[in-house]
Homo-oligomer: A and B are copies of this chain.
Amino acid sequence: MSARGSRRKGQGGDGPRSDVAPQPVRVRTVKEIAAIANVSVATVSRALQRPEVVSEETRRRIHEVVKRLGYTPNAMARNLRTARTRLVVALLPDIANPFFSEVIRGIEQVAYENGYSVLLGETQSSLVREQSYADMVAARQADGIITMFHRVPPIPVEGRLPVVNACEYVKDSSISSVYVDNVAAASAAVDYLVTLGHRDIAFVAGPATSPICVDREQGYRLALQRADIPANPALVAVGDFSIEAGERAVELLLSQGQSFSAVFCSNDEMAIGAMRALLSRGLRIPEDVSVVGFDDIRFSRYTSPALTTVSQPKTALGREAMTMLIEILNDPEVPPRKRVLSAELVVRGSTGPRGRGPGAR
C-alpha cells in the first residue's frame, strides 16, 4: 500500500510512514499549544500574559511546548481583542532632513523600550498623505501619532486625540507638544552676533506657515530691538528649509547689493546653503560674513568653517514626545501639556567679529 504512487499527498496515510515532505516550520495557534500541553487555551494565554496566575508546574510545561514549537501569538488577533496595536505613526515632511532623523531616533528609542513600533509617515508636506496616515489611527491600525509638522490632520476618533506635536506646535491647546523656546533661542543667537559687533544682520526665514519659524523671526527682531538696531525688511529672505533655498536666499540678498556682515538662518541646512553662496562669491567666513544656523544637525560640525548654531536637543525632543504619547495612550484623561526643552547656542568657526561685509566690496 505504501508503494502506491498514485496517492495524492496529504491524503490518507494512517501509518507513521509518509511520502509527504516534512513541514519544516508550522505556524501555530494557542489551540494547538493548549492541546499539546494538555491545558485549555485560557491557561496558555495566561501563562504567556500573566505567568504568576498559573501554577509553577503548568507554566513550565506550557513554556516548554511554546519554546519547542516556536510559537508566537498572532499579533493581529491579539490586537483585535485588546484594541491596541502598539504602533505609532511618526508624521514628518521629509525623512532626508537629518534634523528629523535624529528626532525620530529618540522616538524610536522610547517606543522600543515600551514595546511600541514606529510607523514612518513621510508626507512630503502633502495633505493627502498626511490624512492617509491619520486615517490609520481611525482604522485602528495605529494607536497614535507624533507629528513633526505644524498641522494636525483631523482624526475621526472618539475622545481624546492620541496626538503629540514634536518640534513644532499648534495653537490648539488641547494637543500636547514638546519643543524649544524658539523666540529665546533665536534671540540669543542674534544677541551673540550683536556682541561680536554686527549690526547689519540678515535673516533667512523659514515658511511663515510654521509657528516655530514665526517665533524664530520674532526672536531675531527682539534681539535687534534690544540692541537698538532698526529692523531692515530688505535683509529678510524666506526659504523652505532646504539647502538650495538658503543658497538662493543669500544670492538674492547679494545680487540686490544688500550690505550685511552676518546671516542668521532658520535652520542649519539653509545656513549650509548660505555659506555655499557666500563662498562662491569669494566672501570669507567669518572674516567677511558670519553665519549662524539653527538645529545643530550632525553635519554642521563638519562644514568648513564649522557652523555656529542653536543646538536643539533632538533626541530628547523625540524621547519626550513619545513618552507623552504613551502617557496619553495609557490614560486618555491626562491633561495636555506643552513641554519646553532648552536649546543652546554652540559657537563654532562660522562666526567672528564684524568684518568688512559684502557691501564693502
Contacts and interface: CB of A to CB of B under 8 A. Distances in A.
A122 B108 contact: yes
Contact of A105 (B80, B95, B156): B95
Contacts of A138: 72
A87 B140 contact: no
Interface string A103-136: 0110010001000011111100000010011011
A24 interface: yes
A313 to B, nearest CB: 15
Interface in A72-103: 72-77, 79-80, 85, 87, 90, 95-96, 98, 101-102
Contacts of A104: 95, 120
Contacts of A184: none
Contacts of A112: 129, 132
Given A25-B156, A80-B80, A158-B27, A139 B74 contact: yes
A243 interface: yes
A101 B102 CA distance: 11
Contacts of A248: none
A226 to B, nearest CB: 33
The count of identical subunits is 2
B25 A119 contact: no
A158 B73 contact: no
B140 A75 contact: yes
Contacts of A140: 74-76
A348 to B, nearest CB: 12
Contacts of A272: 299, 302
A70 B157 CA distance: 10
B26 A158 contact: yes
Interface in A51-70: 70
A76 B108 contact: no
Interface in A130-159: 132-133, 135-136, 138-141, 156-158
A75 B279 contact: no
9 contacts: A25-B156, A76-B79, A95-B101, A96-B98, A98-B98, A101-B101, A117-B141, A118-B120, A243-B302
